[in-house]
């Protein structure tokens, strides 16, 4: 599976666990809601910086995120 | 410090530990040698996909890389 699809699925799952909507997350990050949706569907190739900014806002440690990704 | 600078420094250190030159790594990845140098100096904003490809080739677990980054 494409890595961007795996990353997107993991992000969507964690965002929902935190009870955030795409809209809420987008507004915190000052990103467009559509962009969050596209990242979650693996339709964008985000920079490391953008991914880490999303993880900061979801209060997820980077190493924990990638450990989840490796186990998925 | 900008996250791309931290990432670049960490990558450069790990590449040297593996005994790879920038040129060697670039040729494996089919990327330009200059691009590797710029990533290592934090002068590029690489995609997650590119970073993970580099880590794959350095045989470094993603979660280990980000754990090092968090401790740096």
Distance, in Å, from the CA atom of A70 to the CA atom of B63, rounded to the nearest integer, reads 8
- pLDDT of B71 higher than 90: no
ipTM: 0.90
Which of B3, B4, B48 lies nearest to residue A46, judging by beta carbons? B48
Q: Any idea which architecture B3-71 has in CATH? A: Orthogonal Bundle (1.10)
Domain ranges, ordered by start, for chain B: 3-71
Q: Report phi then psi at A12, rounded to 5.
A: -60, -45
Identify the residue whose tokens are 């920079």.
A47
Q: Mean pLDDT for chain B?
A: 94
Predicted confidence at residue B72, as pLDDT, reads 77
DSSP letters along B21-51, please? -HHHHHHHHT--HHHHHHHHTT-S--BHHHH
Which pLDDT value is given to residue A49? 95
pLDDT in tens, A35-69: 999 999 999 999 999 999 999 999 999 999 999 99
Q: What would the pLDDT profile of B58-70 be if each residue is shown by its tens digit?
A: 999 999 999 999 9
**How far is A46 from B12, CA to CA, in rounded Å?**
22
Q: Give the count of beta carbons closer than 10 Å to the beta carbon of residue A33.
A: 14
A61 contacts in B (CB within 8 Å)?
66, 70
Interface mutation target, options B63, B67, B68, chain A, most CBs of A under 10 Å: B63
Q: What is the radius of gyration, based on Cα positions, of chain B?
A: 11
Distance (Å, whole) CA B49 – CA B46: 8
State yes or no: pLDDT of B22 exceeds 90: yes
Predicted confidence at residue B64, as pLDDT, reads: 97
- Chain B nearest-CA residue for A6: B49
Cβ-based contacts under 8 A for chains A and B = 51
């Amino acid at each position: 599976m494409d890595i961007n699809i795996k990353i997107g699925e993991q992000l969507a799952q964690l965002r929902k666990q935190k009870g955030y909507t795409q809209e809420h997350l987008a507004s915190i990050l000052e990103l467009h809601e559509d962009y969050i949706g596209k990242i979650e569907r693996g339709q964008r190739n985000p920079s490391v910086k953008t991914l880490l900014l999303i993880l900061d806002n979801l209060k997820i440690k980077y190493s924990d995120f990638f450990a989840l990704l490796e186990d998925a």
